[in-house]
Amino acid sequence: MPLYEVLTERDALSPADRDALASGITAIHVAETGAPPSFVHVAFSTVEPGSAYTAGRPSRPLVVRGQIRAGRPPAVREALLRRISALCVETTGVPESDVLVAAVDVPASWAMEGGQIFPDPDPDAERRWLDGQTPTAP
Amino acid sequence: MPLYEVLTERDALSPADRDALASGITAIHVAETGAPPSFVHVAFSTVEPGSAYTAGRPSRPLVVRGQIRAGRPPAVREALLRRISALCVETTGVPESDVLVAAVDVPASWAMEGGQIFPDPDPDAERRWLDGQTPTAP
Amino acid sequence: MPLYEVLTERDALSPADRDALASGITAIHVAETGAPPSFVHVAFSTVEPGSAYTAGRPSRPLVVRGQIRAGRPPAVREALLRRISALCVETTGVPESDVLVAAVDVPASWAMEGGQIFPDPDPDAERRWLDGQTPTAP
């Protein structure tokens, strides 16, 4: 965690768009929260063209739904939302009005990565957790 | 917000089914909550045929997962669930036993649309928010 | 509920992998919580190859996100996370470091199945709820 899931119509984003969004979202999350980059996951989900709707009519939203560890101050969440929204507009050319971003709290203890319950958002806890991870051979 | 994500096997819903569900879910949400229609997003996600399971065996559920703004009275949520479940059965012919609907609270301040933090579920806050949105040329 | 959504790149899991994960997740959930097997749904979502990232670089995570009824003791959640993570490694050969599992609480009253608001995680409530379900002809 965090896991940011980006949802668009299929073919709305090029591979270069995805690379840029993934790098940008990761950099923003690290800058605003201090979390290690290796904690940040971004996945791009798609729906079939014509199967997203707003106000009951076809639309082409770009949705970013983040699940972040609970405990961040409100100003941090707001910075994540503002910067990720702006990144989406700059990177993809999608109109700002079609960009939806949410950052939803999940308590760290509700998630496991690499076989260990996730640490609270605290540098010491994160360092101990990283020390407990067994690196996987590439 | 709200964002309602409908999850089925690919090809379980025709384009006409999707249109009808999107219109119907939007109308139900607006009627029960008073939210502006432009707030309501519906997206249809799919999994490969044969990749949904219930009780460990292949199944064909129709899942609707809504993320709605926190603060609605319990009776409003219950009405959303009942009416959306009934709509799915009527519209698609999927058996009622295979229809799952959830409406999960997300605090308004955890989400941004069109570059603005989302307003609380209150008509005055919503009007001010809509006034702050810059329309996008079509 | 629960609904466990497994997210991987397309083609990361064979049909046999999916069968084994669905059976295993269902068995673990039933064993740890006592919920009826028919409550347990597992769906396998996919993203296009090359569209998942960790630390801003392409990665191949296996993500399991469960929405479970609120009210389980912490030790039950931890057992779910540990056993499902281990199952994923054993079943699929994905390295443990690439396995992410989360089990997020959703109050039972926020969900409906088969036209009825979902019961609290209590055997008596569950029995009454099951008695109220109309079986669907196969």
Query: What is the tens place of the pLDDT at every residue in C76-125?
Result: 999 999 999 999 999 999 999 999 999 999 999 999 999 999 999 999 99
Hey, are the CB atoms on B1 and A54 less than 8 Å from each other?
Answer: no
Confidence at residue C85, expressed as pLDDT on a 0 to 100 scale: 98
State the chains in contact with C (3 or more Cβ–Cβ pairs under 8 Å): A, B
Site from B81, B85, B92, B94 to mutate, C interface, most C CB atoms within 10 angstroms: B81
Hey, are the CB atoms on B77 and C110 less than 8 Å from each other?
Answer: yes
Residues of chain A falling short of pLDDT 70: 134-138
Which single residue is written with the structure tokens 């940011």?
Answer: A4
Distance, in Å, from the CA atom of A24 to the CA atom of C106, rounded to the nearest integer, reads 31
Distance, in Å, from the CA atom of C13 to the CA atom of C113, rounded to the nearest integer, reads 28
Distance, in Å, from the CA atom of A9 to the CA atom of A60, rounded to the nearest integer, reads 7
Backbone dihedral region of C109: left (phi > 0), alpha (psi from -120 to 50 degrees) or beta? alpha
Confidence at residue A133, expressed as pLDDT on a 0 to 100 scale: 87
β-strand pairing of B62-69 with B99-106:
parallel
> Cβ contacts (< 8 Å) between A60 and chain B: which residues?
none
Hey, are the CB atoms on C101 and A112 less than 8 Å from each other?
Answer: yes
- Nearest CB among A48, A55, A97 relative to B37 is that of A55
Residues with Cβ < 8 Å from C75, sequence gap 6 or more?
none
Site from C10, C44, C97 to mutate, A interface, most A CB atoms within 10 angstroms: C97
SS3 A138: coil
Distance, in Å, from the CA atom of C92 to the CA atom of C17, rounded to the nearest integer, reads 6
Confidence at residue B133, expressed as pLDDT on a 0 to 100 scale: 87
Residues of A with CB under 8 A from a CB of B: 7, 45, 47-48, 50-57, 59, 61, 63, 74, 77-78, 81-82, 85-86, 89, 95-105
**Residue with more model confidence, C56 or A138:** C56
Positions of E strands within B48-110: 52-54, 57-58, 62-69, 99-106
> Cβ contacts (< 8 Å) between C17 and chain B: which residues?
none
Distance, in Å, from the CA atom of A43 to the CA atom of C11, rounded to the nearest integer, reads 15
Residues with Cβ < 8 Å from B120, sequence gap 6 or more?
B69, B71, B108
Confidence at residue C136, expressed as pLDDT on a 0 to 100 scale: 55
Chain A: give the shortest CA distance to residue B124, in Å: 20
**Is the Cα dihedral A31, A36, A38, A40 positive or negative?**
negative
Burial status of residue B108 (CB atoms within 10 A of its CB: 0-12, 13-18, 19 or more): buried
**Is the Cα dihedral C94, A3, C47, A23 positive or negative?**
negative
- pLDDT of C60 > 70? The answer is yes
Hey, are the CB atoms on A53 and B42 less than 8 Å from each other?
Answer: yes
Chains A & C: contacts with CB separation below 8 Å:
103
Confidence at residue B135, expressed as pLDDT on a 0 to 100 scale: 63
Residues of chain B falling short of pLDDT 50: 137-138
- Nearest CB among A22, A110, A113 relative to C56 is that of A22
Distances in whole angstroms, Cα of residue C25 to Cα of each of A19, B47, B52, C79: 32, 18, 13, 12
Hey, are the CB atoms on B44 and A47 less than 8 Å from each other?
Answer: yes
Q: Which residue of B has its CA nearest to A46?
A: B45
Chain B: give the shortest CA distance to residue A123, in Å: 24
